[in-house]
Structure 1
Amino acid sequence: MNKPIIFCDFDGTITNTDNIIAIMKKFAPAGWEKIKDQVLSQEIPIQEGVGKMFSLLPSDWKGDITDYIVKHAEIREGFKEFVAFTKEQGIPLYIVSGGIDFFVEPLLEGLIAKEQIYCNQSDFSNERIEILWPHTCDAKCTNECGCCKPSLIRKLSNQDDFKIVIGDSITDLQAAKLADKVFARDFLIEKCEELGIEHSPFYSFFDVIGILKKEIVAHA
């Protein structure tokens, strides 16, 4: 088997819940749900939707929002062991996230090195929160993804690598189409079933470790 490389989503995958949705439920005024629904139905691009949702929030709420997420977000069972497993097996692991640096990085501190994390960034210098997009789409993608997971897969892996994608939502769908192996939860399962993309459902990262041991390590 060719060399495995893992691209793992953050919100709703590494964490038990989607942190952007949790922030909006707690802090955003009415109107954010319509934007979320437009993103999920692919009516508007992810970049546009996430930018619009965060522009509803004042920048001076940064401390309260960050504190809330760091206190309430839960890391999915088995993730710490999963990270240890990838190191032990020498499998490169990248976190590719449509989440934002001000909560992704604190939640992964001590678990994942900063250079393995690719996510959106934030600017709190104006009245409203502005999202910055350091990992936008390359020439092969026109979906306005925000943090473009297919573009990052093309940038960080070789053509013959065995690409493993782990995710849960619409933001992971295009990445799943490029993968040799997909681990899916929640909305991504529905989309994979709808489009006939082969996938393994998972609940905890112990499930992922078990399948990787059987399908990847055993054939290495």
Structure 2
Amino acid sequence: MAASGRDVDLAKWAVLLDFDGTVTERDVGEMLLDTFAAGDWRKFVPMRKAGIISGRECLEREFACLPARKEELLAYATTHARLRPGLQTLADFCEKRGILLEIVSCGLDFYIEGLLNHWGLGRLRWTAAKANFVNGHLAMGYAEGHRICETAGHCKCARLEQLKDRGYMVAYGGDGFTDICPAPKADLLMARGALKEHCEANAMSFISCDDFGEIIRHIERGIAAAGALGSDARHT
């Protein structure tokens, strides 16, 4: 693919996607909490919004409401979670063109890995928070060496910044409060849900990501446009 007659290096583009509510039609973590949580897990959300607790603490408290029944939780997720239409097509598109595609999530590793394998997408790279099943409850943890932030716990910006430091242009897609921090750092932003509302309220440029087929078309146009702008800048 070319932009204004100039070649665009697609191998230097990366697509990072949130998992819950972006890759999936519904937030899988919330589905599990609504079904299995002991007590009112939603009481922590207004505390986060009021600044009483951090986003990291909110997520940790929410997931601590889940029982340590990994097999039962995963069985429910694989039965009820739905993949957003077109992700397989997007994965094939990126693979064919040498574009790096990864999932960056503040959700839990066991259901992300399980669902991707269930959907035949186990080849995709992903990072997520760790689920530790101990003493009858689930404790949210973090991979060794991965940056932890107060906004979201498992820092999504870490991977985005790492890729940009290596010279990648990054397209980022998300839907929630944990995506607000990485959003302005992306070269191409794809938003829905709460992230879309945040972008609209703050006059941030974005494209909707309700359907991955449409995202592919936007990525092609966005990459071409960014490639043209980058080439123009190099020639001034």
Structure 1 position 101 matched with structure 2 position 109: yes
1:200-215 paired onto structure 2 within 5 Å: 200-215=207-222
- Which among 40, 47, 52 is matched to residue 31 of structure 1? 40
Amino acid at match of 1:113: R
1:56-103 per-residue CA deviation (whole Å, 9 max, x = no partner) reads 2231x2221111011100000000000000011111111100110110
Alpha-carbon distance between aligned partners in 1 of 2:123 and 2:53, rounded to the nearest angstrom: 33
Q: For 1:99, what is the secondary structure of its paired residue?
A: strand
Deviation at 1:159, TM superposition (A): 5.8
Unaligned runs of 5+ in 2: 1-7, 228-236
Letter in 2 for 1:107: L
1:219–1:163 CA distance, 2 compared to 1 (3 A): closer
- How far does residue 113 in structure 1 lie from its aligned partner after superposition? 2.5
Identify if the C-alpha distance between structure 1 residues 171 and 208 changes in structure 2 by more than 3 Å, giving closer, same or farther. Answer: same
Q: Does 1:192 align with 2:199?
A: yes
Number of residue pairs aligned between Structure 1 and Structure 2? 214
TM-score, normalised via structure 2 length: 0.83
Within 5 Å, which residues of 2 pair with 1:1-220? 3-39=12-48, 43-59=52-68, 61-109=69-117, 110-113=120-123, 116-134=125-143, 135-137=146-148, 143-158=150-165, 160-217=167-224
Which of the pair has more CA radius of gyration?
A: 2
Q: Aligned pair in 2 of structure 1 residues 175, 36: CA closer, same or farther (>3 Å)?
A: same
| Cα contact 1:5–1:157 (8 A) shared by 2 | no
Partner deviation per Cα, 1:127-168 (whole Å, 9 max, x = no partner): 21111112333xxxx534211011221224326421111011
> How far has the Cα of 1:31 moved from its partner?
2.2
Deviation at 1:46, TM superposition (A): 2.3
Whole-Å Cα distance in 2 between the matches of residues 80 and 202 of structure 1? Answer: 15
Q: Which moved more, 1:197-206 or 1:208-217?
A: 208-217
Where does residue 230 of structure 2 map in the other structure? none
Q: Secondary structure at the match of 2:79?
A: helix
TM-score (norm 1): 0.89
SS in 2 for 1:155: helix
Offset at residue 213 of structure 1 (A): 2.0
Shift of 1:16: 0.1
The answer to whether the 8 A contact 1:16-1:76 is kept is yes
Runs of 4+ aligned structure 1 residues displaced above 6 Å come to none
Partners of 1:156 and 1:175 lie apart in 2 by 12
CA deviation profile, 1:105-142 (whole Å, cap 9, x unmatched): 0111231436x2100111113221111112333xxxx5
Aligned partners of 2:166 and 2:98: how far apart in 1?
Answer: 19
One-letter amino acid matched to 2:193: D
Match of 2:101, as an amino acid? L
When you count strand as a share of all residues, which structure comes out higher?
Answer: 2
Offset at residue 202 of structure 1 (A): 2.4
Between the aligned partners of 2:170 and 2:51, the Cα distance in structure 1 is 25
- Paired residues of 1:5 and 1:91 also in contact (CA < 8 A): yes
Identity of aligned residues (%): 29
1:189–1:219: structure 2 CA closer, same or farther, 3 Å change rule?
A: closer
Q: Secondary structure at the match of 2:184?
A: helix
CA RMSD in angstroms comes to: 2.0
